[in-house]
Amino acid sequence: MTDTHEPGSGYWFNVRTHQVEEGPQSDWKDLLGPYGSRAEAEGALARVRARNEAADRADEADDDWDANPFNDAS
């Protein structure tokens, strides 16, 4: 991505204002996207939450990687 904001370059979700922007209009640090439609951009936070929860579950499962007693080297 370039540092310039190009109008018409997809839909972006602004995490600060919780508004959808058509073409990036805000600072990059505040944006998620680009998305192909306004509806996709509106669902950005729900997707982020779902992915974070899945990653948290994977991390928790990984915490027990050596819980199997057959893994003990004796």
Alpha carbon 28 to chain centroid, angstroms: 14
Give the separation between CA 23 and CA 60, rounded to whole angstroms: 38
Over residues 27-44, the pLDDT tens digits come to 999 999 999 999 999 999
Q: Is the pLDDT of residue 53 over 70?
A: yes
Q: Is the pLDDT of residue 1 over 50?
A: no
Q: What is the residue-averaged pLDDT of the chain?
A: 85
Q: What pLDDT score does 59 carry?
A: 85
The domain limits of the chain are 11-61
Q: What pLDDT score does 72 carry?
A: 61
Q: What pLDDT score does 51 carry?
A: 95
